[in-house]
């Protein structure tokens, strides 16, 4: 083998850490998907969530970069969202070639509806995991996300 170095205990622990995060992401996404309004995919919800969390408008290219997908994949998702009236795509006044995308009021309402529909799942989770511990984990997970977000541009 090209790299026969033994894996350090720290590297092994960090692999387990990120592996657990990945599994949690997959399981929680599947649970959340069950509560989404009919016809809304998890990737479509994620775009609506990005608008609610990050910025009120973006170019398709910025969104593709944020989600680390191809421009074509993002364009496909945006066209589906636009067909449902959840986002508005229009020419960018500053550039004749670029587009700008904004979430619509209907998109904001559907985003809220999706979160509200998950309330029973969140309540069940809260019974098992005290909010004080969850709040501490959010702080640490946010640091991890920020680190990884900065690192992807290297």
- Domain of residue 144: give its range: 125-154
Whether 129 and 112 map to the same domain: the answer is no
98 phi and psi, to 5 degrees?
-80, 160
Cα–Cα dist 44/61, whole Å: 16
Whole-prediction pTM value?
0.83
In this predicted structure, the answer to whether residue 85 has a pLDDT above a threshold of 80 is yes
Beta strands (DSSP E) in 27-152 are 57-58, 87-92, 95-103
Residues 5-35 as b or e (16 or more Cβ within 10 Å = b): eeeeeeeeeeeeeeeeeeeeeeeeeeebeeb
Whether 136 and 109 map to the same domain: the answer is no
pLDDT at residue 154, rounded to an integer: 75
pLDDT band at 152 (very low <50, low <70, confident <90, very high): confident
pLDDT at residue 144, rounded to an integer: 95
Whether 145 and 96 map to the same domain: the answer is no
| Model confidence pLDDT, tens digit, residues 14-70 | 999 999 999 999 999 999 999 998 889 999 999 999 999 999 999 999 999 999 999
Average pLDDT value for the chain: 92
Asked if the structure places residue 29 within a domain, the reply is no
């Amino acid at each position: 083998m090209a790299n026969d170095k033994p894996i350090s205990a720290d590297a092994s622990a960090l692999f387990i850490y990120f592996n657990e995060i990945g599994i949690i992401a997959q399981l929680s996404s599947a649970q959340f998907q069950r509560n989404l309004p009919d016809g809304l995919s998890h990737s479509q919800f994620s775009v609506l969530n990005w608008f609610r969390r990050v910025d009120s408008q973006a170019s398709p290219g910025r969104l593709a970069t944020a989600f680390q997908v191809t421009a074509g994949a993002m364009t496909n998702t945006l066209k589906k969202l636009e067909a449902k009236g959840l986002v508005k795509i229009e020419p960018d006044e500053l550039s004749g070639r670029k587009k700008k995308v904004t979430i619509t009021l209907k998109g904001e309402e559907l985003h809220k509806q999706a979160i509200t529909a998950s309330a029973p799942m969140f309540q069940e989770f809260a019974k098992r995991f005290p909010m004080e511990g969850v709040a501490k984990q959010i702080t640490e997970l946010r640091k991890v996300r920020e680190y990884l977000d900065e690192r992807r541009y290297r």
